[in-house]
Amino acid sequence: MRQPDLHWPLDNDGLVVIPLRFYLLLLLLLRPLLSWVLALTIPEQKGEMLAFFYPDQQQFLLACLLALPTFLLCVALTQRRPKGHPAWFRVWRYGKWWLLASLVPDLLLTVQALPPYVAVEQPWLLLAPSLLLIFGLWLLRSRRMPQVFAEWPDPIIGKK
């Protein structure tokens, strides 16, 4: 059976537009670093705010380490433009695997940290693992994302 030709919308640089779900996935995977930045902006309640998101300090440090591949991919995303450094394409083209390297352990760590009877006592804590599972399945099944990770803009050559 022949696959239909997929024509995705293009951005100003002629690359396939990155879907909004991708940016939501980045925010979800970067939540330990974002909560840390949020805690740093409110110095009087720094310890209380981090303890609200991550009661165990070891769990917070592990979550930050798991977010590093996603952070690296975010840096590569900032270079995905004609004037960006082409060496970042080496990181970008494996973006799906960088995201999965953060997503799978993050999902396991999040599920492991759930308290007993979470569905009855604190059902909102199931939101993060549910979203991680949904986004992981989307990432694995998406037909657009392999195309997005395969593209890199041509560098602009200086005009005289």
Please give, one letter per residue, the 3-state secondary structure of 61-126: HHHHHHHHHHHHHHHHHHCCCCCCCHHHHHHHCCHHHHHHHHHHHHHHHHHHCCCCCHHHHCHHHH
Domain assignment present for 18: no
Q: Check whether 107 has a pLDDT greater than 80.
A: yes
Domain assignment present for 20: no
Q: Which domain holds residue 74?
A: 26-150
* 129, 107 contact by CB (below 8 A): yes
Give the chain's domain count.
1
Beta bridge partners of 16: 10
Domain assignment present for 137: yes
Quote the pLDDT of residue 3: 44
Distances in whole angstroms, Cα of residue 26 to Cα of each of 11, 20, 29, 68: 20, 10, 5, 11
> Which band of pLDDT confidence, cut at 50, 70 and 90, is reported for residue 156?
low
Domain assignment present for 70: yes
At 46-101, the pLDDT tens digits run: 677 777 778 788 888 999 999 999 999 999 999 998 888 889 999 999 999 999 99
At 27-44, the pLDDT tens digits run: 999 999 998 888 888 877
Domain assignment present for 1: no
Q: Check whether 113 has a pLDDT greater than 70.
A: yes
Domain assignment present for 95: yes
**The whole model's pTM is what?**
0.85
The pLDDT of 125-142, averaged and rounded, is 94
Domain assignment present for 104: yes
Domain assignment present for 78: yes
Going by C-alpha positions, the residue among 124, 17, 110, 122 that lies closest to residue 56 is 110
Distances in whole angstroms, Cα of residue 22 to Cα of each of 86, 158, 159: 21, 32, 34
Quote the pLDDT of residue 132: 96
